[in-house]
Amino acid sequence: MQQLRNVDGQGLGLILWAYAKFGYAAARSQSFLEQAGQEALRRLSDSSHDSEPHLQLGAQALSNMVYAFAALGHHPGIELLSAIAKGVQSQLRDFLPQGLSNIAWAYAKLGAPLSTDICQLLEGLAVEAASQLLDIRSRRKFIPQNLTNMLYGYAALGYNPGMMLLVAMAKELQQTKASQVQTGTLHNPGSSAMGRLVSDVMQRPKKFCQKQLINVFWGAACLGHTDGKVLTAPLIEAIDAQGQDMTANDVSNLMWASAVCASDTEALFSKMAPKLSAVLPEDMRKDSLVRVLQAQLSLGASHHKLQHLPAGLRSDAIAAWRKTSDESNPSEMYTEIASTLDSMGLSVMLNHPIEDGLIHIHVALLHSRTALQLEGPADHCINDRQQLLGSALLRRRTLERHGWKVVVIQSNDWTGLEDTTQRIAFLEQLLGTAGKPSVDTMQSLLAQFSGTGLDAQLWSLAPDGGPDALTGLQGGPSPMSMLDSQAPLPVSELKRVIEMLPLERSAVAVVAPCLATLEPADFAALLSELARDNHAFRAWQLFDWVRSLPEGQVVRRLCDSNTYVTMITLCGPWHQLPRALHLMADMQAQQMECGPQAYAALLNAALKCGEGSLAVDVYRQMKGQGMPLPHRLFHTLIDVLVKIGKWQEAVVVMDDMRSGGQAVEVQTYNLMIVTCTKMGHPFSAINMYKRMVSDGVPPNTKTFTALIGTFAKCGPLESALDTIQNVIQQDGSGSAIGTYAALMSACEKAGQWDLAIALFDRMTALNCKPDVSIFNSMIAACAHGGEHQKAQAMFDRMAEHGCKPDAVTFANLIRAYKKGGQWCRALATFEAMQTSGSRPHAAVYSSVIDVLWQTGLPWAQARALQLFESAVKTNCLPAATEASKKGTLKVDLQALTVGVAVLSMDRWLMGLRDTVSRDPALGAYDINRKLAVVNGMGEHSRAQGNSSAVKEAVGASLIGARGPFRLVQDHSRSGRLEASTLPLKKWLFSESFDKYHRMFSSGPATSMRSDVSKLETAEYLEHEQAQADQCYDMLLAIRKYEELHALSPKVLHSNSSGYLQQRKQLVAFTLQVGQALHLRGQTAHAAVALMDRVTMAGARIPPNFAPLFACACLRLASVCEGAPAPAPLSIATLVNFPESALERLEWNIRHVLHNDTSCISPTHCLKVYIQRLGCDLNNSEAVQQAAGCAFALATEALSDLTLLQFPPSLIAAALLMSARKHQGAVPAWPSVLAQLTGFSEAGTPAFGAVINQTMRLISKIDSHHGMYGP
């Protein structure tokens, strides 16, 4: 480094340039490059070397330096790039053309962010380059490589070089005066200047090598230039002349640019096909692979030569694409757009996948195939918001080429809309002007394709000509050599031969001689078999070649109507509807018979592509011509019509189906009932049910579930009941009680508890006797609706009807109590269930254990632990299982609820610790393995219960206890927990694990008072009710205080004494004085609350009296706390004020507050909450386990001004929840506290806001030692 300081500026640049020229690997020279970069940054940042000009970095040195960094692939850091940018700007006139182009090229290769300094550099480069190009006296000449490198740099950075530079470049090529370019007459001068430059380059292809031509083409495409008409011929000429020099990355750039620009891709890719087939995936950079796939996805929809890439290349390209593409959930703005469209009655799909999920349409209107695309600043040139970048343009064109109408919404326009009304008006106007054209008849569509002469040859490398020209192809032994070419070949043998071909060989070249021996039916079967086994592109190769042969040739006869129908059928799965229409038009042009099979195949293709309107049109033509429709297509057509909102046309199709003697399935009736209800026609849904019954189709469970939704929309409850009774009377099944039972069971699934109870009352009024199953449905419906009191009332009515509750009854009632937070009643019901002889199953145990554990009460949690151990021992609950797979030990908790999951996790970890302690070198837990925690009845089970909440709780407990776990996203929505085995072993024998284990084993028992722990269930429940009432009364008093003495930060801020500005120091002083006087922490907190109250009342305390003010509030707070006030003399000594001043200030405070000196802080509320959790406040260990660092956190929160606007009870709740989260306690917010306070993260927005703030304060405190305890 010391030697580098002595190297002159020119030498430093040359050394770096030499490293790049000799091709030193960046890894080998990493240390030197970093040192050289630091030295360059020092010189550019320090002006002290101005007296030593030889050390300065001149134009040539800067150019060499940045070129070397880019060529070596070494990123020197943003700070150095910005410093170089400033250095270049100060010396722009000293740069030669090569230096200017090198700077632009290098910044692009390094991916420099477009900061202010770099944007100013690009502006300066463009001006200087244009000046040198336009100065006819200048001896500085730009060679073609300078021009193409300059254009590449601006294009890769997404920065418009500006009209001046583009015109100057064009002039350099034309050797004419710039005045000949009439820019004043151009609509978009910048775009037209780019077009002129590209045109001039392509008119002089001999001045540019092939790579330079491709770079110009690519650069123009990146900057959104779309006129590709002048590009094709020069590029084809260059490929013919220099094609052997084309690299893999050149191929990708050419394909991508062609996808963006409107060039003649058919002719161009005829030349490029052999080049692409010869490309090896490893020869392409990842960004090149992505560009190849983007081009194929875009052009493959309309250019048949690009429907398939070579297999190896495609798989690597897809892998690269998956890593770079954004497949995340749609942004909030997209969600808002979808929500607005849904409120407009439109069928919206978010994140709709096409092309096997490689492309996602964030907001799609499927019925009209409209894609709504958000575009923002990142989609335009940073210095020209009117110029759309090529990447954004390609997104539009890709969707359009796949048959979608693209509606563009500028993000700035959307964010400017203030409410839903404005958003709806905006979207209505936008969709009204850019909607998809309506389709009246299928014939109008067919007419668009007739006579087009479309060259539909797929990725075919076969030479032109008939079979005779193909028999002598070179390229190694053909699979045909394995066959007897003289004998006719069966279809299976031909298919096997084709499947053995390498991708670059054409199927036509190999099997064409054998096709003459086939019959048309065999040829159609061959095509169908190939497509079925994922060789559809081979089928299209053969079909397109045979179809292109002139009439009269022997093989041409294979393309009969049956073959055409086969290929139209293939268009459906491939979403190639335009091709299907073209083939249909071709059949009509050749006067082939377009019978029912052809129309059915076209209808199927339209349905597969989501084109419901076209499908209806095809169906009408078939119906008009008396053609039968297959049974399967009837149901598919009805399904599509329903999805696009044309339910009335679906009813017509159903009528046609019935009149044709075809049976309508129960699923179709159910679908129609649901649809009619959703569309606001409940009585049409009821008529559909009546038609179903009259047709003899037996309804199933889904039918009655659908009907419940229908009845709920028939008006008031009485009207709905009358409608139901009318339906049952006309049912004709003769089993009214069975229908009532089915409807009430459906009410359970739909959560319609009120309708279920009304149905029950109506049924009993008709003297229909309910049985146990009906009562079970009723209780389950009430449980689903969270109505535990209704569930209890229904349970009590069972005895009136002579029904004895069974295990299902008890399970449903316990579930109702669990959902209502009634843990005492849930436990009592569970014990009654055991007494009755009913054996609880896993779901019942899970519910009871969870509702007990979620209380946060030590007694209830100790009982939950007993039940858990008992259930696992008797196999009523499954224990956690483990399985080893691919180096990962997977632990499946198999837990349905949070309470069971955390206990199961602790039990398994303790078992692991015991196992490891007995055999530390146990192979199953080798240090090279990972542990993964999953949940469900097996990893891939669909019945995983409340999996997300379970994993969140288990993860919070383990991570809060400093366990070596991390949350990893996998195929599931909630992810899984992972840990490496070695740190896991260490953690198992640490103090942190012991604390974790105590929370889920002995902790609840040790936290109880000794007198409480000995109580039986009935005695404890009585004690618990008294405790709840007492805490409720205390919280009621706190809430009354909060109503009378709410704080306003605005009022406090307006106090002219500057109270808020000095409040933080004042709080710290109050705490220190309280500690010096040996006061309880609660007293100091109360004093701060009193200071806030006095200031809210308008008192102005001069800054020099602030310490005395704090001491006066401390004395008054002590009195309020029921403790003796500190002696005035001891306080006066601390603050150096006379005793009389202290007494006078106390009198003033009482006077300002009208003798009401009550003061409640969050610490007071914390004590109420901890008392509600059944903890003895004198037991520090119990308080620590229940509240963690909550008191220390309360001390830290005292000086946080953002919390002043919230009441103490809310702050205390957030402090307690944050502290419990921090130590891994589950639940973080116990259910008894949620019931007491009414606070929840979901239902109390302010609660969530305070939690976010208090969690940020956690890092500032020591979780084990707070300044003040309770």
What pLDDT is attached to residue 239?
67
Q: Averaging pLDDT over each range in 202-211, 263-272, 426-435, which range is the top one? A: 426-435
pLDDT exceeds cutoff 60 at 940 = no
Which domains are present in the chain?
Answer: 1-94 (no CATH), 113-245 (no CATH), 326-437 (3.40.960.10), 824-873 (no CATH), 881-1007 (3.30.1370), 1046-1157 (1.10.472.10), 1161-1270 (1.10.472)
- The whole-number average pLDDT for the span 349-353 is 76
Least-confidence region, from 21-30, 71-80, 798-807, 919-928: 919-928
What pLDDT is attached to residue 415?
82
Q: Which amino acid is at 370?
A: T
What pLDDT is attached to residue 118?
84
Nearest to 1236 by CA among 903, 866, 856, 683: 856
Mean pLDDT of the residues in the chain: 76
Grouping H, G, I as helix, E, B as strand and the rest as coil, residue 461 is coil
How would residue 920 be classed by pLDDT, with cut points 50, 70 and 90?
A: low
pLDDT exceeds cutoff 90 at 1229 = yes
Look up the pTM and report it: 0.52
Cα distances (Å, whole numbers) of residue 833 to 778, 821, 842, 847, 1056: 18, 19, 14, 14, 68
What pLDDT is attached to residue 909?
92
Grouping H, G, I as helix, E, B as strand and the rest as coil, residue 406 is strand
How would residue 1213 be classed by pLDDT, with cut points 50, 70 and 90?
A: very high
pLDDT exceeds cutoff 70 at 939 = no
Which phi and psi angles does 1058 have, rounded to 5°? 70, 40
Structure confidence by residue, pLDDT tens digits, 138-148: 555 777 777 77
pLDDT exceeds cutoff 80 at 1144 = yes
Give the residue with greater pLDDT, 513 vs 167: 513
What pLDDT is attached to residue 171?
60
What pLDDT is attached to residue 329?
52
Least-confidence region, from 109-123, 749-763, 895-909, 1093-1107: 749-763
Report the alpha-carbon distance of residue 994 to residue 998 in Å, rounded. 6
For 433, half-sphere exposure in the C-beta direction (CA atoms, 13 angstrom radius) is: 8
Instruction: Print burial letters for 1217-1232: b (CB count within 10 Å at least 16), e (below 16).
Output: bbbbbbbbbbbbbbbb
What pLDDT is attached to residue 170?
62
What pLDDT is attached to residue 172?
61
Nearest to 822 by CA among 802, 795, 804: 795
What pLDDT is attached to residue 1226?
92
Give the residue with greater pLDDT, 787 vs 349: 787
Give the residue with greater pLDDT, 231 vs 498: 498
Query: How are strands ordered across the β-sheet holding 976-980?
Result: 881-885, 888-892, 930-934, 976-980, 966-968
| Cβ–Cβ < 8 Å for 1223, 996 | no
| Beta pairing partners, 980 | 930
What pLDDT is attached to residue 306?
59
Close Cβ partners of 253 (under 8 Å, ≥ 6 residues apart): 214, 215, 217, 218, 288, 291
What pLDDT is attached to residue 330?
59
How would residue 2 be classed by pLDDT, with cut points 50, 70 and 90?
A: low
Give the residue with greater pLDDT, 1264 vs 1184: 1184
pLDDT exceeds cutoff 50 at 712 = yes
pLDDT exceeds cutoff 80 at 230 = no
Structure confidence by residue, pLDDT tens digits, 291-320: 878 877 777 665 655 556 776 677 777 777
What pLDDT is attached to residue 355?
66
Give the residue with greater pLDDT, 140 vs 1199: 1199
What pLDDT is attached to residue 268?
67
Report the alpha-carbon distance of residue 133 to residue 200 in Å, rounded. 15
User: Between the CA atoms of 726, 730, 733 and 736, what dihedral angle is there, to the nearest 10 degrees?
Assistant: 20
Report the alpha-carbon distance of residue 375 to residue 391 in Å, rounded. 11
Structure confidence by residue, pLDDT tens digits, 1030-1081: 999 999 999 999 999 999 988 888 887 888 888 999 999 999 989 888 888 8
Give the residue with greater pLDDT, 445 vs 152: 152
Report the alpha-carbon distance of residue 968 to residue 278 in Å, rounded. 40
Q: Which amino acid is at 88?
A: V
Q: Averaging pLDDT over each range in 282-291, 462-471, 672-681, 775-784, which range is the top one? A: 775-784
pLDDT exceeds cutoff 60 at 1168 = yes
pLDDT exceeds cutoff 70 at 513 = yes
Give the residue with greater pLDDT, 512 vs 227: 512
Least-confidence region, from 115-129, 218-232, 850-864, 1230-1244: 218-232
| Cβ–Cβ < 8 Å for 710, 673 | yes
Structure confidence by residue, pLDDT tens digits, 748-774: 666 677 777 777 877 777 777 888 888
What pLDDT is attached to residue 668?
75
What pLDDT is attached to residue 472?
34
Compute the chain's Rg from CA coordinates. Answer: 40
pLDDT exceeds cutoff 50 at 1178 = yes
| Beta pairing partners, 384 | 381
What pLDDT is attached to residue 1172?
92
Cα distances (Å, whole numbers) of residue 853 to 686, 868, 892: 46, 11, 21
Structure confidence by residue, pLDDT tens digits, 999-1044: 888 767 666 666 666 778 888 888 888 999 999 999 999 999 999 9
Helices (H), 435-506: 442-449, 491-500
pLDDT exceeds cutoff 60 at 1156 = yes
- The whole-number average pLDDT for the span 17-34 is 70
What pLDDT is attached to residue 921?
62
How would residue 1216 be classed by pLDDT, with cut points 50, 70 and 90?
A: very high
| Cβ–Cβ < 8 Å for 851, 1235 | no
Q: Averaging pLDDT over each range in 371-375, 598-602, 1085-1089, which range is the top one? A: 1085-1089
Give the residue with greater pLDDT, 195 vs 369: 369
Grouping H, G, I as helix, E, B as strand and the rest as coil, residue 354 is strand
Q: Averaging pLDDT over each range in 380-384, 592-596, 624-628, 1226-1230, which range is the top one? A: 1226-1230
pLDDT exceeds cutoff 90 at 1230 = yes
Give the residue with greater pLDDT, 854 vs 921: 854
pLDDT exceeds cutoff 80 at 639 = no
Q: What is the percent of the chain with per-residue pLDDT over 90, rounded to a whole number?
A: 15
- The whole-number average pLDDT for the span 1238-1252 is 89
What pLDDT is attached to residue 1228?
94
Structure confidence by residue, pLDDT tens digits, 462-511: 333 333 333 333 344 344 444 444 456 788 888 888 888 776 677 887 78
Instruction: Print burial letters for 63-98: b (CB count within 10 Å at least 16), e (below 16).
Output: bbbbbbbbbbebbbeeebbbbbbebbeebbeebbbb
| Beta pairing partners, 408 | 373
CB atoms within 10 A of CB 102: 25
Strands 930-934, 888-892: pairing kind: parallel
Least-confidence region, from 71-80, 375-384, 1095-1104: 375-384
What pLDDT is attached to residue 185?
29
Report the alpha-carbon distance of residue 416 to residue 339 in Å, rounded. 17
Least-confidence region, from 375-384, 487-496, 512-521: 375-384
Give the residue with greater pLDDT, 503 vs 89: 89
pLDDT exceeds cutoff 90 at 1233 = yes
| Cβ–Cβ < 8 Å for 1167, 1233 | no
- The whole-number average pLDDT for the span 516-526 is 89
What pLDDT is attached to residue 469?
32
Grouping H, G, I as helix, E, B as strand and the rest as coil, residue 588 is helix
How would residue 608 be classed by pLDDT, with cut points 50, 70 and 90?
A: confident
Structure confidence by residue, pLDDT tens digits, 54-85: 677 888 888 888 888 888 778 888 888 888 88
